[in-house]
Chain A
Amino acid sequence: MTYSLAVDIGGTFTDIVLRNDAGALTVDKTLTTHHDLLEGFFHGVHSVLSKAAIDPNNVDGVVVHATTVVTNALIERKGQPTAMVTTEGFRDVLFIRNEHRYEMYDPQIEFPEPLVPQELTFSIAERTLADGRIMAKPAEKDIASLVSQLKASGAKAVAICFLNSFANPENERQVATALRQALPDLFICTSSDVAPQIREYPRASTTTVNAYTMPISQPYLKRLSERLETEGFANTPLIMLSSGGVVGAETAGRNPVRMIESGPAAGALAACHYAELLKIDRLMSFDMGGTTAKACLIENRVPLVTGLFEVDRRYRFKDGSGLPVTVPSIDMIEIGAGGGSIAHVDDLGLLKVGPESAGSMPGPACYGRGGANPTVTDADLMLGLIDADNFLGGDMKLDRPAMQKAFDRLAGELKLSPVEAARGIYRVVTEAMASAARAHATDRGIDYRGLPLFAFGGAGPLHACGVAALLQSASVIVPPQSSVLSAFGTLVTPVRLDLVRSDLGRLNDLDWDRVNRILGELTKEATEALAEAGCAPQDVRFEFGADMRYVGQQHEVPVTFEADPRSNHDISGIASRFETAYRTLYGVTPSHVGIEIVTWRVTARGPLVPFKAPANAASKAAAPKRHRTVHAWEDNQQVAVYARADLAVGQKTEGPAIIEERETTTALPPGWSAVIDSYGCIVATKG
């Protein structure tokens, strides 16, 4: 028997999934130990091993890890002093940003403090031109003086960010090599390695994020590898990246900036996995938790990937208010709507829900920890969608009187009954999520109408049917093990790395020698990284693409090519791929305008992970365990309540109905019905 292990460390919980090659899962959920993340990691791992009655040396398959360690370091700003070296004359790149105000109407606007303070910013005389020609090499004496300045500064890490280094990394490498020799304890990275893309500010921002988190992530991953080895696990760990890729610990340690969204990315990969099993090409994953909801579009069973996202936003959900990071990442929208989102009445007398959240402390009023404002979870309780005595399988009793008290004031302000106010919260939060999902899809040129929703997270299955209906969709899928879905997602993902390199060129006038060299370097780098993750070179599959635009535009469209462009130089094929992508996004293509390539992309993947679906213990069709009064759709409806574990494969349930499990509840509105499929998913359909 072969065993694989996955561990996903999130902000609150650490989830562990052990899978054998028959597909059977053993899971555990333990509190994240923020003082030392590995404590919770091994606590949970030992717990599943003992549940499965095996030893570490029985785990001969992969050990995959998704972690929030990098994100925490950024949000809490508890990293070591980090320095930056720039081209002389450009030392304020992080402070000048792009000169833009992301919020037009707020005179009190603030911007995130750069990770590198002014006193740790150094510059050196050197210059590379846009075409890669070197106008000035850094002088040895200047490097020597840089070394002593860095030494005196107390910086533990340094980001080297020179102008136009994406076009020629030579000057950055020369300085990096000298610094490595002189200061062997310093963590060093260069912008041409971390994010070799045109546009100096986002590249420098990305590189400083990377440098800032290296002193945290490298020792962490090293410690993890050593401890796994000591305990007798057969393989070195694999690390989940925000792009949905999986690489070895050493590659990940050099590129911590690529690990930022690794947990949520794994959730989207689980959605892809089920898309594959259920043979559904397109769907939208919908993960609603305590403070936010996240949605991700899956096209052709693959999640959309973006080249730019932001960390540490000053305004939680506002584009432009954070530090830009230009590494490939699964393209997700985060919506300020979760179980803890607080309802209030605004100056116009309208009912608003969120984005303020009660979080887990004090949490919703019904947690009985002093929360005084009604939240989405309180509304769910008021409406009878969740059961005060069956929350977390009854481990946590909900405080109904506290919930009712919280509604008194809101209902009074709205001049509605408490139940009507609760129904209002349910409707408003559902509309807010649907409209954010619509905007996200429209922004990407994707027709969201009719897409099945793949719902998970504590509050996802409770609201998914309502959101689906607003997106003109008639289908919702709730997977099994949805509470540890991200950890599960890491286990069904092939090793993968995405690399990019900017090199501007007109499509009709490409210098193919140059292109061949760039793509050759990228495929070589990716092959080496995948080898470290245990993937043989002959098993690596490549996908080629580019970020392209019409000459004169500023915004690029990502395009995936049909084949390796080096083999046939198929310019017209590339052009037509671009035009198709452009038309999908914008509906029109301008004629007679030249096309240019801005950035080349290479994706390297290992072989697919063989997967056997867990055998589902099908018993005979279950009867409702009871009925309860629900007010979500009309007043005082008697609704059947089922225990999910009791439902047999193929059993059909007619809405209105409630299906309960320990960590979540699925609400089936009137007009919907659900069946349990052979993979254990609840498949809900409207009409």
Chain B
Amino acid sequence: MDPVELEILWSNLIGIVTERSKALQRIAFSPIVREAGDLACALFDRRGRMVAQANTGTPGHINSLAFAGAHLVKLFDGKCEPGDVLITNDPWLSAGHFFDITLLTPIYDGDKILAYIGSTIHHTDIGGYGIGAGARDVHEEGLWIPPLKFYERGVPNAVLHAMIGRNVRTPDAVFGDLAAQVSSGHAAADHLIALCRRHGLEDIETLSDEIIARSEEATRAAIRKLKPGVYHGESQFDVPGGEIITLKTALTVDTDKGSITVDFDGSSMQTSTGINVVLNYTHAYSTFAIRSCLNPELPNNTGSLAPIEIKAPEGSIVNCRYPAPVNARHVVGMYVPMPILKALYQVMPERVLAEGSGAVWTMQIQGKKADGNAFTSSMFNYSGGMGARATKPGPSATCYPTGVAAVPIEILEAAMPIVFDRKELRRGSGGQGRTAGGDGQIIQFRLLTDAPWLLNAVPSRLGQGPDGIGGGAAGQKGVFQVNGRDVSEPRKLTMQPEDVVLLETPGGGGFGSSNY
């Protein structure tokens, strides 16, 4: 295909999904979607291969949608009709917990399928346990929507709508966000059909062959430039309750095939709290880590992901088995890049970063306002320091690998009777080195209330700070205290009116020896 024509068509496909993704983010009721862009949007060809993906979104979603889309296309092959919309939130088929609902819409031009448009977004509620890691198995965590038709020939599936409506706590918000996903699919369909007409395309199959082949070849070529071998990385961190999780990776660079294989053999086994990760999600954060160092400028699609293979023993914490609870899978999932970056340090030290604080610390509060009315806050979160880079320090108080913004203090104080005493950098908490890790933060808050309240806090790295790399020092570990006493508890805390909460998020690891 002519390089000019291909450039124009390819950038148009990415443009279509990026536009839809931005529209979804703005409309969303789900705070984490609005603030963090916790969503993904992608276009699939008739064969279920991901051709184009929006330039926005968090790593956990953007790559797991590739699998969910492929799976739904296969499952409903020959069973779709114009006006259908497919749905699932199966953790093992899509993004690893029930909150993430994936919708896939076949795009019809006349009576034949042109392509599919899919989106995954993190919804406000899905019934069951709610936010947190406390459920005993996946069924306690909420409503399981197997692959089904959400719309049939343009008509809402009444049974499914009624089931969802009765099984979530915030039906208005959930249906509002689902409606946004549906209408976004329709808008994308219109744009794609217009693009095909403009360029006289019958379908996008030849185009997708070209896009996927070039992307795969470019990724393989980038890998072939690396030094072949097997490289090892290991990261340890503690999670609420004190349990210590180990992630081990053996990263094989094969320059003959131009492929990278990551094997998590030797990592911790799945656990009884809801921090277990399905393989899709592990795959998503692993490919994110590799691609962001290897060739970040190359668009994501089936081709650019193909040369990277991710393996993990079944039953391990990064490839958990049904019915393991998975609700708070991000707590472990956000550490998945860390051992991979340590392995990559041996191959391309100038492009990696040292370990950072890892998962953002999430908070949710339930209590009573002065007028006696009960409130439940949205989830809010705080980051620690990022790891240092070869030639520059790690940014302070910045999330990595996720992209979650913090909710402003003034917004939180306006929404509930919370008062913050401080939110400052935790100076010197980043590990020293040739370049220093980013600093964490010190945050202190309390509630102006007469009634007891509930705090659902998920801090991590309270036992050990993030490692430095190449001789850099570790960042300081986190501190989580109530009234000056350390707390480590996987479940909600019952708080007294005058209780004061202190968070000190970890600093990032340093890079290289400071004596160098």
Chain A interface residues toward B at CB < 8 A: 88-92, 95-101, 104-111, 129-130, 135, 163-164, 166, 198-201, 345-352, 414, 416, 420, 423-424, 427-428, 431-432, 435, 438-439, 442-443, 504, 550, 552-555, 585-588, 590-593
Contact = CB atoms under 8 A, between A and B. Distances in A.
A347 B218 contact: yes
Interface in B55-75: 57-59
Contacts of A424: 3-4
A585 B218 CA distance: 39
B15 A435 contact: yes
A345 B218 CA distance: 13
B410 interface: yes
Interface stretch (B76-84, B235-243, B394-402, B461-469): B394-402
B34 A553 contact: yes
Nearest 4 A/B pairs, CB to CB:
A89-B422, A424-B4, A100-B405, A130-B413
Contact of A101 (B400, B410, B421, B424): B400
Interface string B169-198: 000110110011001000100000000000
B179 A588 contact: yes
A588 B183 contact: yes
A428 B8 contact: yes
Given A90-B424, A435-B12, A106 B296 contact: yes
Contacts of B215: 348
Contacts of B58: 104
Nearest to A127: B419
A169 to B, nearest CB: 14
Nearest to A436: B15
Contacts of B425: 92, 95-96
B284 interface: no
Most A C-beta atoms less than 10 A away, residue of B3, B59, B215: B3
B506 to A, nearest CB: 14
B404 A130 contact: no
A108 B288 CA distance: 14
Contacts of B321: none
A107 B353 contact: yes
Interface stretch (B23-31, B103-111, B154-162, B275-283): B23-31
Given A198-B410, A345-B3, A586-B26, 6 more contacts: A95-B396, A99-B382, A163-B410, A347-B295, A347-B298, A587-B187
Contacts of B411: 198-199, 554
A163 B409 contact: yes
Range for the number of chain B residues in contact with chain A: 35 or more
Contacts of B493: none
Interface of B: 2-4, 6-8, 10-12, 15, 18-19, 22-23, 26-27, 29, 31, 34-36, 57-59, 124, 172-173, 175-176, 179-180, 183, 187, 214-215, 218, 221-222, 288, 291-293, 295-298, 351-353, 378, 382-383, 389, 392, 395-400, 403-411, 413-414, 419-425, 441, 444
Give chain A's interface secondary structure class.
loop
Contacts of B214: 348-349
20 contacts: A90-B409, A90-B422, A90-B424, A91-B424, A99-B404, A99-B406, A101-B398, A104-B58, A105-B296, A110-B392, A111-B395, A163-B420, A199-B408, A414-B4, A424-B4, A438-B19, A442-B19, A443-B22, A443-B26, A591-B172
Contact of B176 (A423, A427, A555, A588): A588
Nearest to B293: A107
Contacts of A588: 27, 176, 179-180, 183
Contacts of B10: 350
Contacts of A439: 15, 18-19, 22
Contacts of B378: 552
Given A438-B19, A586-B26, A98 B7 contact: no
Most A C-beta atoms less than 10 A away, residue of B10, B383, B405, B419: B405
A166 B222 CA distance: 52
A427 B408 CA distance: 44
Most B C-beta atoms less than 10 A away, residue of A105, A110, A135, A200: A105
Contacts of A442: 19, 22-23
A443 B8 contact: no
B7 A89 contact: no
A351 B7 contact: yes
A423 B7 CA distance: 13
Contact of A105 (B8, B292, B389): B292
Contacts of B22: 439, 442-443
B472 to A, nearest CB: 15
B70 to A, nearest CB: 22
A92 B424 contact: yes
A199 B297 CA distance: 33
B424 A555 contact: no
A427 B8 CA distance: 8
A350 B424 CA distance: 46
Nearest to A552: B29
B232 to A, nearest CB: 20
Contacts of A199: 408, 410-411
A199 B412 CA distance: 10
Contact of A350 (B6, B293, B420): B6
A187 B361 CA distance: 40
B443 to A, nearest CB: 10
Nearest to A588: B179
Given A105-B296, A107-B389, A442-B23, A89 B421 contact: yes
Contacts of A593: 172-173, 176
